[in-house]
Amino acid sequence: MFSIKNKTLAAWLAFIGGPLGLHRFYLHGMLDWIGWLLPIPTALGIYGIQRVQQLGQDDVLSWLLIPLLGFTIAGCALTGIVYALSTPEKWNAKFNPSLDAEAKPGQTNWFTIMAIVASLMIGAAVLMASIAFSFQRYFDYQIEASRKISQ
């Protein structure tokens, strides 16, 4: 059974449902193993957020797990940008081989541009926040360890 894959829908699925693997299932089917692996770092990151809420910011495991969620979201946003910026010829050749190279499912429209803007804005913010959180927690941990050594 052949189904037509729309570039705009794939970009939005990567941005909104990427951490759950929705874009992979849309493009490659339910047997795609990467799609089934994507929820794992997402769930671990959410678990890290829950640990921070319960145990506080000094929990080492939580500051190791939280960036997994951020990096997964940022990676999926980047994937959405890559999908949206692909040329119609390349998109249709890869995902719609039975269609003409300039067929409508591979075309860029305003909804595709909005997916790029949203993915870039949210993905960059989440990536920067994840990096900042990781380094802040790491340096706090190092300072605390050096204080223990010096005493």
Give the angle subtended at the CA of 73 by the CAs of 71 and 76, to the nearest 5°: 105
pTM of structure: 0.85
pLDDT (tens digit per residue) in 46-80: 999 999 889 887 788 888 899 999 999 999 999 99
pLDDT (tens digit per residue) in 94-146: 988 888 777 777 788 999 999 999 999 999 999 999 999 888 888 888 888 88
Average pLDDT (2-8) is 86
pLDDT at 2: 58
Domain boundaries, the chain: 7-150
Give every CB contact of residue 101 below 8 A, 6+ residues apart in sequence. 88, 89, 92, 93
pLDDT (tens digit per residue) in 15-50: 999 999 999 999 998 999 999 999 999 999 999 999
